[in-house]
Chain A
């Protein structure tokens, strides 16, 4: 009965709104993208860099909540904080004091982890130059209609970002990788966010079109961490990402919030550093770019009233009754430790060995020659 009421209510409203639908149809594909991707990277190893993992996971949580599926997120975490032995609550990563918000969640999928997070792998993911057997979950399968969000966090300096405390990526390399992506038509628009010391230095060399970039600090500034937690013993998050997460938590798939609002996140009074942004490469006005264009995957749905005939129904495979024919063979399990078989197992001959007959023949020849030469009567001199 409730269903019927709902149906009635629904159809009435639908009729009233049908005029508006046609008017708004033009806005459906205004942003020019059809799919969304996210590459979220934490480049720091070791427990005291807990906050960098929490940074990345909080962005992961937001984009997943706003509709980008796990298959479209490439998540790279350089160390395992959740199941680290120092973590008092295993399988959790908290971004707020007093363990309020678990950003790790119960269904996280980490694509690159531990030693796999290297500069080489990161650049390969961006440019798509991966070995052929790489699984789909580890690839960025974007096209020229993809909006890509790239988020990096770690320790950096003027013009570089350290990976795993052992290697670094420079801003020139990063800019060239984006140019390669542009030339290979791997993105439609790209949003680059970096939370590291002197973060603005990382985007100043970009030269490819349609890139918008944000950084947590200007050149010469340090990015600072936010609250420490006494139970966990380290800082939980960096200031910039903390306030960005706070901002993103209020976003829902239908939000009209635009990029200009994101630029205002974390002013110097909160961040201590000065967040920077760069929009000169971007073609659209940031005020017209929705947050959900990058952080979410909002599908516009169009309904059709036309009936579609499926002319070619899927044919059912004819199942052959295999049981009909009698099989003679009776299967059996293998012996797990066949002792006598193992003892008599011949060691595999690795090197080439002359056949036994050849060796036998050779010895006979030697003996024949010996007796032919010395004869039987000389044997007493030998023995």
Chain B
């Protein structure tokens, strides 16, 4: 009992010191808050409330910043959107920077597409001699991975569900079902394969995924696809590795470590607090301390910013879920003479609201995420919520509440889109209730979606368990322009491709690829790799077929559920699709995060990468089940036991005389004539 009390008091002491610390912290932060909404806050809001009804027409974002108007005059002439913020050059820039952003796009199918992007920029050099040891916004676990394995670029994604391009259009950031990992190493790496293997093991620990199943049998080294997305011109493809695990499941255990990488996303779970709380409750200590405690608990367990919306129960109750981490180097300033590291965490979801028992087409942040937004992440330099209202210019399709007067235009994926913008760093966004629960109420169901210019599908044809044929269909829906696509196929070794049957046809005619790279597989060592550069004629379907034979596995190589089938990863189609509007080629310009992922070289076309469905192929599988064993055993017993007994009982046995030689036979004839018994 004494120990019990003692530890209780020790907990109290710790608690007390922490509360003092927290209070001190609050005092430190209050001036910052005052700056935003202190004394003149009331006056400001009063002004704004007076202003709001008067200024009914929508404002464009550019007009917000007075100084920016003149600067962006040139840009406005071209009809492009103005930058979000203009940072005066005299203010010293922080060495690291965090931005968060949520884009919501109502889809024509009635679903809702929500895309989160969190970007951390850091001007540091992970490759220098003395190790980087002080981390602020950048997650330490990933920083150590970058420096230990000399990673130049790392892209990892975990996806559940298949992105339906024909119904949903193009995603901001594409990803194949399952897990995908591609890494560019620095030229200083000597043994790329060993580093790659080690890296996958480490990443499997960081992301709680089975990435350690990536080995030489599913890793390829693309020769033309997957050019680096970051800075640098060195494109020696021997430093590139690419692997997919189409079977990988994605669930809360992958989301938890992903959220922990966010500066505002990690939930600090401190057991001593709950423990101490318990003690206080039990001993009935005075109320003030309990209130301080509960305050402490909320302080430490709450997330801030957009990360509050990331609740696994809601996120995984969706038609499509994809989370990714992209690390690359980007320009630090407009001159692009120095680089900084960019960590981009993205999460894309498509919510099917009809499915979840909704009769009325109505949608709100709370219904979708079971949370509302109350504040921006205090560490973020920008925190914004975009709603795509391109199809709804006059509000005839749906109604948005609370309405925002802030609009923004961005060119994304070859199309100019209009967005309503909610700036979470502004106090007024949250209104008087101090929380933002966005509501969309549909008025009509009409509306045509622009057909995506490029989409693809793939299936397995053939019957039986010996041979088959893989068909890949690529659609060019552009009425009069052809464009090139680069197809990458990585097929596991247990499907033996008959590469001589490879055929590429479009519009009934042979379409000769201008570049073919094929690496045959080696059994149990490496997969097939097929890369082809094909020109897709306008308004056509191009079909790529190749036959294959199914290999027999050794019986220990079958997984525990072989009858489920074996997966073949998605084909990757990279393409330069003609754009209807001029793309921004200036990569250093400040743009919303969702439109700045793929660098753009020319104005007339934009780069897009799409993935086909993964294939599920049945291999000839022995029957591992009990009856098979019983039948085998019984047959053996019958054949060996009963068979030999039957033989013993039914056959008559006699000693066979060996055939005597010729001399002996002659001698016996003579002996018989003589009347002597034969030899």
Contacts and interface: CB of A to CB of B under 8 A. Distances in A.
Q: Do A and B bind each other?
A: yes
Interface string B604-627: 000100000000000000001000
Interface stretch (A151-159, A171-179, A210-218, A338-346): A338-346
A113 interface: yes
A301 interface: yes
A317 to B, nearest CB: 7
B517 interface: yes
A333 B251 contact: no
A45 interface: yes
Nearest to A5: B288
A114 B210 CA distance: 8
Interface in B155-182: 160
Nearest to B231: A331
B292 A83 contact: no
Given A135-B206, A334-B233, A329 B256 contact: no
Contacts, number: 217
Interface string A130-145: 0101111110000000
B186 to A, nearest CB: 15
B201 A91 contact: no
A257 to B, nearest CB: 13
B13 A303 contact: yes
B601 A336 contact: yes
A337 B251 contact: no
B575 interface: yes
B414 to A, nearest CB: 14
B647 interface: no
Interface in A319-354: 322-323, 327, 329-339, 342-343, 345, 347-348
Interface string B230-256: 111101000000000000011111001
A363 interface: no
Given A3-B20, A107-B256, A116-B212, A90 B331 contact: no
Contacts of B223: 345, 348
A333 B54 CA distance: 47
Interface stretch (A14-22, A192-200, A235-243, A277-285): A14-22
A166 interface: yes
B178 to A, nearest CB: 12
B231 A83 contact: no
A269 interface: no
Contacts of B674: none
Contact of B14 (A110, A301, A331): A301
B335 interface: yes
A229 interface: no
A253 B275 contact: yes
Interface stretch (A23-31, A34-42, A368-376): A23-31
A24 B2 contact: yes
Contacts of A329: 337
Contacts of A115: 210, 213, 559-560
Contacts of A164: 560
Pick the most buried of A20, A27, A115, A334: most chain B CB atoms within 10 A of its CB: A334
A45 B249 contact: no
Which DSSP category, helix, strand, loop or mixed, fits chain B's interface? mixed
Instruction: Bin the interface of chain B by size.
Output: 35 or more
Contacts of A109: 208, 253, 256-257
Contacts of A323: 338
B501 to A, nearest CB: 21
Nearest to B625: A165
Contact of B253 (A108, A131, A345): A108
Contacts of A348: 223
Contacts of B559: 115
A63 B20 CA distance: 30
Pick the most buried of B6, B212, B286, B599: most chain A CB atoms within 10 A of its CB: B6
A114 B249 contact: yes
Interface string A115-135: 110000000000000010111
B11 interface: yes
A9 interface: yes
Interface in B307-345: 311-313, 315-317, 329, 331, 335-339
Nearest to B535: A339
B229 A166 contact: no
Contacts of B587: 333
A342 B513 CA distance: 12
Nearest to B203: A135
B412 interface: no
Nearest to A166: B560
B415 interface: no
A222 interface: no
B12 A80 contact: no
B267 interface: yes
Contacts of A254: 4, 7-8, 275, 278-279
Nearest to B599: A333
Contacts of B279: 254
Interface string A81-124: 01100000111100000000000111111110111100000000
A82 B338 contact: no
A165 B313 CA distance: 29
B228 interface: yes
Contacts of B316: 82-83, 90-91
B208 A333 contact: no
Interface string B1-27: 011111111111110100110010000
Nearest to B194: A133
Interface in A34-71: 45-46, 67
Contact of A106 (B9, B312, B339, B484): B312
Nearest to B486: A337
Contact of B313 (A6, A90, A322, A332): A90
B232 A331 contact: yes
B451 interface: no
Contacts of B599: 333-334, 336
A135 B205 contact: yes
B271 A67 contact: yes
Given A303-B10, A337-B574, 16 more contacts: A2-B291, A10-B16, A17-B5, A80-B249, A80-B251, A91-B251, A91-B252, A114-B210, A133-B198, A135-B202, A253-B271, A301-B11, A334-B232, A337-B227, A339-B514, A342-B224
Closest 4 CB pairs of A and B: A135-B205, A333-B599, A24-B2, A2-B288
23 contacts: A2-B288, A6-B19, A6-B288, A13-B9, A24-B2, A67-B275, A89-B313, A90-B313, A91-B317, A113-B208, A115-B213, A254-B4, A254-B275, A300-B3, A322-B338, A331-B337, A331-B339, A333-B587, A334-B599, A335-B227, A337-B227, A339-B576, A343-B533
Interface of A: 2-3, 5-7, 9-10, 13-14, 17, 20-21, 23-24, 27-28, 45-46, 67, 80, 82-83, 89-92, 104-111, 113-116, 131, 133-138, 164-166, 252-254, 297, 300-303, 317, 322-323, 327, 329-339, 342-343, 345, 347-348
